[in-house]
Structure 1
Amino acid sequence: MSTMNNNHQEAVETVRELIKGIDTAMFTTISPEGLVSRPMKTQEVEFDGDLWFLTKKDTSKFGEVLHDPRVNVVYAGKSYVSIRGTARIVQDLEKKKEFWNAGYDAFLKTSYDDPNVILIQVHAEAAEYWKSGNLAEKASYLFKRLTNQDTEESNLNQTIELK
């Protein structure tokens, strides 16, 4: 396996571990008025470079993704992860069925085979993350950032390419 493929796999595994167990993300799209964020439930699929969300066509995010597919997805838990990517609308009935659960019946007030139900697939391009650390480590890192000192030694904040 090439170094590029190894680096990509390591980046995917890092993000997978950081977002594991965090059910809800803030999903940000670009509207004509600017950026719009809303909480969305991530589908319970092991992260492989793509994130999946269920929604309906009659929502603003549907039109926003069609108009400009650039999105950002943020997770907050033991760590903070901001994932930049490109979204696309997916109409795959079998995939909708795979992700569907009883909670969606109540929340979306429909069933997976409703043509108004869609999937949004986000292909991750890069992720920036902040690991939880002890208070002294965080304070030192923030001080260095605020005073423009070199922060390369800190592993609290990293950006990784997923392309």
Structure 2
Amino acid sequence: MAVPATKDDLLAAIEKTFTQLDKDLDRVPAAATRQAVLDGHVKGTTMSPADLVAYLIGWNQQVLTWHRRRAEGLPDEFPAPDIKWNELGQLAQRYYAEHETDTWESLRTQLVEAKNQIITLVKGYSNDELYGDPWYGKWTMGRMISFNTSSPYANARGRIRAWLRTL
């Protein structure tokens, strides 16, 4: 799928990649949701399908936090408080830990809710607001949203599908 360059493209990419991922998550055996069967986000580590969903929830919520903080006139915290861009593995570990006791059903519900909040967020902006000017560094707002929604959904889907083929 091409990198979204318009509001409509972004909304379509989020919905399409999420729907595809969601169908594949439906196929994860209940007994395997907390088994460390996937390559982790830190080299040499493994994670469970539940950790992968927690990671996606974390990034979706991070996007929402960026926008909330800007709307409230608060300073940016990119990518997250006490995390630098070269420490994203630590952020992944934080997301896993935040959701380590959540059930598979709860994780799936939280992911749907976070995705729906992102859709609402995107719909609230004009195409020019999303793609007209840089929003963070050289990246437009739309591209930053895509980096943390549709792109990770597609990556997660690839991980899940590859693992499911081994069952």
For normalisation by structure 1, the TM-score amounts to 0.30
Larger strand fraction of residues:
1
**Who wins on radius of gyration, i.e. which is larger?**
1
* Larger RCO: 1 or 2 (CA < 8 Å, sep 6+): 2
For normalisation by structure 2, the TM-score amounts to 0.29
Larger helix fraction of residues:
2
